[in-house]
Structure 1
Amino acid sequence: MEKLKINIVIAGRTYPLSVSNTKEEEGMRKAATAINNLISMYEQNYAVSDKQDVLAMSALQFASKLEILSLDKSDTKKEELEKLNELTNLVSNHLE
């Protein structure tokens, strides 16, 4: 399968990338838009003079959201397993 070549602009810099399909391209473009929106928000609301600081703050925000989602999934899985165990015990006790 041939890779698609695209250009993504983040913080005013262009990055040439290769993607496998249009879905991956759409994901990359949406991610770049989200990053650029967050950069603009930080620049407007905080006294930030260096692009590297804004990029670091943006990276931290995205990474922390990902980690929080991962923790939430882990907690949900534990709750689901506990409920399944409770149901299994109820059924087992009823069948005895």
Structure 2
Amino acid sequence: MGDISIKINIADRLYPLRIEMEEEEIIRHAAKLINDRIKDLQENYAVRDKQDLLSMAVLHYATATLKAEKQVREEDTSVSEKVYKLDQLLTEFFKD
């Protein structure tokens, strides 16, 4: 498809972006998640500085992303090990 221009509001600042049309929904959803996280942090902590709130929100999402990536790697390793063991069993079975 084509590029489109949109404006995203994050922490009361507008950011003009040029994106692929199919990315728009994801980007708008990401901005909403960030703003919701900032709102939660603002309500639960005595932090008012938007930069601090943004930093805390980014830390939250970066940590969640790294945890998810680690879990995927561990699951991939587990699946690979199981496939290898199954391959060994089948090789032994068909040798006889």
Given the two structures, how large is their TM-score scaled by the length of structure 1?
A: 0.95
Paired AA for residue 73 in structure 1: V
Deviation at 1:31? 0.4
- For 1:2 and 1:44, the matched residues in 2 are separated by 39
Paired AA for residue 48 in structure 2: S
Given the two structures, how large is their TM-score scaled by the length of structure 2?
A: 0.95
Deviation at 1:20? 1.1
Q: Which runs of 4+ in 1 moved over 6 A?
A: none
Say yes or no: does 1:51 pair with 2:34.
no
For 1:3-82, list aligned pairs within 5 A.
3-21=3-21, 23-82=22-81
Q: CA RMSD in A?
A: 1.0
- For 1:2 and 1:92, the matched residues in 2 are separated by 51
- For 1:83 and 1:43, the matched residues in 2 are separated by 46
- For 1:74 and 1:52, the matched residues in 2 are separated by 33
Q: Look up the match of 1:90.
A: 89
| Aligned residue-pair number | 95
Q: Which secondary structure state, in structure 2, belongs to the residue aligned with residue 49 of structure 1?
A: coil
Q: Deviations over 1:48-78 (max 9, x none)?
A: 0211110000000111111111100100010
Query: Gaps (5+ residues) in structure 1?
Result: none
Query: Gaps (5+ residues) in structure 2?
Result: none
Paired AA for residue 4 in structure 1: I
